[in-house]
Structure 1
Amino acid sequence: MKIKYSIALLTATLMFSSCEKFLDRPQLTSANDDNAWTTEENVRLYANKYYTDFFEGYGSGFSLGSSYLLSFSDDVVRQGNQAEFTLAVPNSGIWSYTNIRSINIMLDRVETRMSTILTPEAYNHWIGIGRFFRAMAYSDLVLAYGDVPYYDKPVSDTDFDALFKNRTPRNEVMDAVYEDLKFALENVRLSDGVQSVNRYVVAGFISRIALSEGSWQKYYYENDDQAKKFFELALEAGELVISSSKYDIVTDYRSQFTSENLSGNKDMILYREYNESINVKHALLSTHNLADNVTYGPSSDLIKSFICVDGSVWQNSSETNANNFVTSQLFKTRDSRFEAVFHEKPTARNRGSFLYITKFLPRDVEARVAAGGAAGTAFTGANNTTDAPVLRYAEVLLNWIEAKAELSTLGAAAVDQSDIDRSINKIRNRPLAAEAIQKGVKKTAPMTLGMLPSDPERDVTISPLMWEIRRERRMEMTFEFNRLADLKRWKKLDYMDTDANPDLLAGGWVDFPNQIPGEIKSGISVVKLNGQIEVFNPDNPESAAKMVGFYRYSLNRSRQQFLGLGNVNPYLSPIGRNQINEYQSRGYVLSQTEGWAQN
């Protein structure tokens, strides 16, 4: 399924961008709130405007989407100061309800003005679409803030008691989201045209939203009943997608992110189309084209997490050279996704890690730049036209197996080998790119329940099965939207503590004397496999030869402490003092986010 943005969508946005405002003299030749709600096509145009908000893809122009190349998680090391958690209440800052208000207007108008215009099937479909978008909007707010005010109807700008009401408890909000999602899952059409959201798209996103909420309830709020409710919904939604047989794992990994045309690709449940002819372009590759410099890259922690092709962790793998971290060797011994994500040779153009992220760069462009050529206009500035995955089948498979494993801890049936084969092993069996095969890349052995890896780095609070499910997710979705969100829903932000995990301050393995001797200079250091740090000393003639290990910029600073602090909650965002004061000045109370000082 593709998202195509064209003149029709622009027209719809202009027509309905402020449907609650009226002219003194109603126009007779253009749509307004009085005459717009008369045809199904008008409702479709109104709903289409939400696509760019909820399905960003690679963004538009120089405004990058929030779903890719996220640089704040344990996957990433920065040169110098590490990205920090918020440690103080801001002066100003609060949620936006623009989309929720607009969606509630849509639902109200369909309910009150179109019940006799639309067929019952069409009526339920569009109510389902509206409730789906509303559920997405509220789930985003809840993930950020916890308790938030809940509205399911349009609110008048003179109804101050409603406009300035305090937060609604999270469970009450998410119970309403649950009902919206259930309705959408049962009523949105199985097919509504190649450019439109259908029930499978809805189900795929439900598997993401419900899994997330189930995890928050289990690990953060310790509410198993609420957790089970959402895990079951995630499982149901995932099963709908899987059993449809409409989607498959048929594309090599990198091609999913570098294609100029994802039309008809069975790995895609939803994607965003970019097209030069209609001037819909993005800039994701403007600084990730191997030619431009970046200051962040993969952490040693991420690099070490990739499974070996025999299905074991590197510490006890039977693969020859499993403990050799030279990138070209990692391509041969690690899961094929490693080769698809990174450039083969270390480069100073990635100052954070010396290992360049090429997951989103077409292979021919990577080869051209590596040989000394230019990336080309299409891969610089805001000229990129590669299509963007929005929802991949692989994610739904991973959502499904994780929900099933979580439910098994809450009284449901245990995960069996057929479940693993249907999900993780299906992903591992994806085709390999010809270029990868030439480098010695191989498919990873299937996961076997009776022979799960014995990982000395496993968090002992996590079962071996869940540890491996989470590892698979980390490998599959590297540098996509999810890693920080995953750590939060698992209540595992401690993984980002650089004092406890020094691998977060180092990057790729570099043999400086043999690979890039010109970069041996003050400011570099390396970390050996035993954790020993070697700092280059220009006054010691023997120091250069020791610069072999995981690169670590010698001035990298640890992340500030963010856990266990009074009036600081890194899991949820605070709102601004100004907003709390404004409520108070009008005679109302706005509570601060859980864990933060009220004022």
Structure 2
Amino acid sequence: MKTRYYLTFLMALFAAIIFSGCKKDFLDRLPQSAITSKDFFKTVADMETYSNGFYEMSGNTSLGAGTNDVFSDNISVYLGGSEVDNMIRGNISASNVSGDSWKWDNLRRINYMLNNLQNVKGDQASIDHFKGIARFYRAVFYFQMMKRFGDVPFYNTVLEATDDAALYKAKDPRSLVADSVRADLEFAAAHVKPDGSATRITKWASLSMLARFCLFEGTFRKYHDELNLQNTANTFLERAISASQEVMAAGFTIYNTGKKAEDYQKLFTSTDLSSNKEMIFYQDYDQALNHSNSTHYVFDWQWSLSKSLADTYLMLDGKPFTSSPGYSTKPYLQMFTNRDPRMGTTIMPPGFSTVIGGIPNKTRPTFGGYPQIKFYALDPSTKVYTEFTDLPVIRYAEVLLINAEAKTELNILTQADLDKTVNLLRSRVGMPALNMTTANAQPDPVLVAMYPLTTGSNQGVLLEIRRERNVELACEGFRFNDLLRWKAGKLLAKPTQGMYIPGLGAYDVTGDGIEDIAILNSPSETGPISSLPESVRSKLVLYYLNSNSFYLSEGTKGFVMFPQDISSPRSFIEPKYYYFPIPLQQIVLNPKLTQPAGW
């Protein structure tokens, strides 16, 4: 651990020396160097020192753990700034979009290493190992750029100030960029070593990222017919399958000690994941080194989870919650009864306390009523706003879901495949196995409405795999990109909902039989709680509909909803909103750049 941070410090210092004084945009500036590549890149140890800096890169090259689903349909309300939220309300343009995502300095750092290895001496396998790590991170950079912009210029060299043709070239087509990303990941999968800590890039992390990218690109091409790339989609889906199967043969396992919900919860709240065989790549945090994450912020700070996500969790018997009589009007206290155990470790259930054995938290309708607790560690010794839990970045469960989804998209899925993938995840939490025949015979109509582009004889099982993906990977940062690749962006246009409120009055939300909160029209209209004992009324947390922080869908009853969806309605313009505009200043600098479709 200490060695890791020492090497990172050296790398940061070296990068600062190399790139000091560079204040212009990457495409306008010349790499400046006080220490030359001839002086530095001589040994494998030099490569290792330099590549250690890749793990700490931020921005559009970051490969950090996802700990929330902001901004997606899994969120009821988000009070922080969100470009996606601004976009679907018509408030984003090329002139005001953030320029932070059109940053190329991290790519320069990666290409600088890859372009300067000619003098390195040492074991070729070790040289190729660190070269593979560099190409892995270059692939991550361009994967992120593709998800945001679609077509972008591709560079595999460090540009000089005299390289006008390259500096001011047009965007390369999506197919070229995607093939380049895949080639980098293929090199990494073939050359990065399989052994070592799961806190570093290994062969298995490379294969998993290759599978992740190929699933994204394959499904994106399949469903986005406006690209005219449907005939190339299967090639990516086939590689998603073969790459995931290589990982499946490597000895990783689903963490399952028979404790169901507790096993699932420990994946996201453990201080040490080093022995967990589900971890393919994770970030380690250490209190002794004061190296912390910010997972305390996931709980009841700027967002809550949506009724749409809550409704997605199955009943304990495997049936859709949305097929239960009266499901749509069940209040908060009844929503968690006989549900998939993952629901109560993701969304705050009645009786939850942030301190073991402490006073139960009272849910807040102003946020929707479904606070996120996934990643929130229950540890009385934990400092406020500081966490030292390890965080998964790539875990085996995702690889299994990739395999199942890609096979279903290619219509080659079997029940045996489901039993080796999805059903291992359901088994962990004690849920019934997914049966392919049953799922295809009766596709869930709620899911059909959510994903109308799904068709064919395997529609039912594909929808259930999408459900499983959302449930298993909830709040891990996948949902928004899943909506993009499935061409399901229209879901972002729907006003979000929180919990159901049967009417004005007081409600028990902790499960102890005593009313905890009350919803009233205004402070002066206390009739709905006037019959309660004073001992209860004095402890109620009061919420008022005239406060303009939320409203109920049917006036004095209904789902919690939010005024901004009335004052600034949502819309989703296809295909425009599947991409962000390139910042206008970049178009001015390079007139050959063109905006994504619709912008």
What's the TM-score once normalised by structure 2's chain length? 0.79
Indicate if the aligned counterparts of 1:57 and 1:388 stay in contact, CA closer than 8 A.
no
Quote how far apart the aligned CAs of 1:505 are.
3.1
CA distance in 1 between counterparts of 2:70 and 2:464 reads: 23
**Map of 2:530 onto structure 1:** none
**Map of 2:437 onto structure 1:** 450
In structure 1, the residue corresponding to 2:247 is in which secondary structure?
A: helix
Indicate if the aligned counterparts of 1:3 and 1:51 stay in contact, CA closer than 8 A.
no
**Map of 1:531 onto structure 2:** none
Where structure 2 has 5 or more consecutive residues not aligned to the other structure, the ranges are 22-33, 258-262, 351-360, 509-514, 524-543
Indicate if the aligned counterparts of 1:79 and 1:553 stay in contact, CA closer than 8 A.
no
Residue in structure 1 matching 2:151, options 147, 154, 158: 147
- The one-letter code matched in structure 1 to 2:237 is F
Spell out, residue by residue over 1:357-384, the C-alpha distance to the aligned partner (whole angstroms, 9 max, x if none). 111222455xxxxxxxxxx6x3423x22
Indicate if the aligned counterparts of 2:223 and 2:453 stay in contact, CA closer than 8 A.
no
For 1:274-353, list aligned pairs within 5 A: 274-285=285-296, 287-289=297-299, 293-316=300-323, 325-327=330-332, 329-345=334-350, 347-349=362-364, 351-353=366-368
In structure 2, the residue corresponding to 1:152 is in which secondary structure?
A: coil
Quote how far apart the aligned CAs of 1:322 are.
6.7
Residue in structure 1 matching 2:235, options 224, 229, 240: 229
CA distance in 1 between counterparts of 2:564 and 2:198 reads: 51
> Is 1:489 aligned to residue 485 of structure 2?
yes
Q: From the superposition, tell whether residues 296 and 426 of structure 1 become closer, same or farther in structure 2 (CA, over 3 Å).
A: same
CA distance in 2 between counterparts of 1:189 and 1:241 reads: 13
Q: From the superposition, tell whether residues 103 and 3 of structure 1 become closer, same or farther in structure 2 (CA, over 3 Å).
A: farther
Indicate if the aligned counterparts of 1:70 and 1:481 stay in contact, CA closer than 8 A.
yes
For 1:315-394, list aligned pairs within 5 A: 315-316=322-323, 325-327=330-332, 329-345=334-350, 347-349=362-364, 351-363=366-378, 378-381=382-385, 383-394=386-397
Q: From the superposition, tell whether residues 444 and 55 of structure 1 become closer, same or farther in structure 2 (CA, over 3 Å).
A: farther
**Map of 1:370 onto structure 2:** none
CA distance in 1 between counterparts of 2:307 and 2:2 reads: 36
Structure number with the bigger relative contact order (C-alpha 8 A, sep ≥ 6) is 1
Indicate if the aligned counterparts of 1:575 and 1:592 stay in contact, CA closer than 8 A.
yes
Indicate if the aligned counterparts of 1:77 and 1:353 stay in contact, CA closer than 8 A.
yes
Where structure 1 has 5 or more consecutive residues not aligned to the other structure, the ranges are 23-29, 60-64, 366-375, 409-413, 433-442, 525-534
- The one-letter code matched in structure 1 to 2:229 is N
In structure 2, the residue corresponding to 1:429 is in which secondary structure?
A: helix
272-281 or 122-131: bigger deviation? 122-131
Percent identity between the aligned chains? 27
> Is 1:506 aligned to residue 498 of structure 2?
yes
Indicate if the aligned counterparts of 2:7 and 2:52 stay in contact, CA closer than 8 A.
no
Quote how far apart the aligned CAs of 1:355 are.
2.0
In structure 1, the residue corresponding to 2:520 is in which secondary structure?
A: coil
In structure 2, the residue corresponding to 1:519 is in which secondary structure?
A: strand
Q: From the superposition, tell whether residues 256 and 350 of structure 1 become closer, same or farther in structure 2 (CA, over 3 Å).
A: farther
Spell out, residue by residue over 1:439-463, the C-alpha distance to the aligned partner (whole angstroms, 9 max, x if none). xxxx211101111154221234321
Indicate if the aligned counterparts of 1:342 and 1:358 stay in contact, CA closer than 8 A.
yes
- The one-letter code matched in structure 1 to 2:498 is A
In structure 1, the residue corresponding to 2:280 is in which secondary structure?
A: strand
In structure 2, the residue corresponding to 1:520 is in which secondary structure?
A: strand
Indicate if the aligned counterparts of 2:254 and 2:277 stay in contact, CA closer than 8 A.
yes
- The one-letter code matched in structure 2 to 1:254 is Q
Q: From the superposition, tell whether residues 593 and 514 of structure 1 become closer, same or farther in structure 2 (CA, over 3 Å).
A: closer
In structure 1, the residue corresponding to 2:271 is in which secondary structure?
A: coil
Spell out, residue by residue over 1:118-157, the C-alpha distance to the aligned partner (whole angstroms, 9 max, x if none). 2232233233222211111111111111111111122113
**Map of 1:13 onto structure 2:** 12
Spell out, residue by residue over 1:374-433, the C-alpha distance to the aligned partner (whole angstroms, 9 max, x if none). xx6x3423x22111111111111111111111122xxxxx21111101111001111x5x
Indicate if the aligned counterparts of 2:321 and 2:327 stay in contact, CA closer than 8 A.
yes
What's the TM-score once normalised by structure 1's chain length? 0.79
Spell out, residue by residue over 1:473-507, the C-alpha distance to the aligned partner (whole angstroms, 9 max, x if none). 11111112111110011111011222xxx5x2334
Q: From the superposition, tell whether residues 264 and 66 of structure 1 become closer, same or farther in structure 2 (CA, over 3 Å).
A: closer
Q: How many residues are aligned here?
A: 521
Quote how far apart the aligned CAs of 1:559 are.
5.8
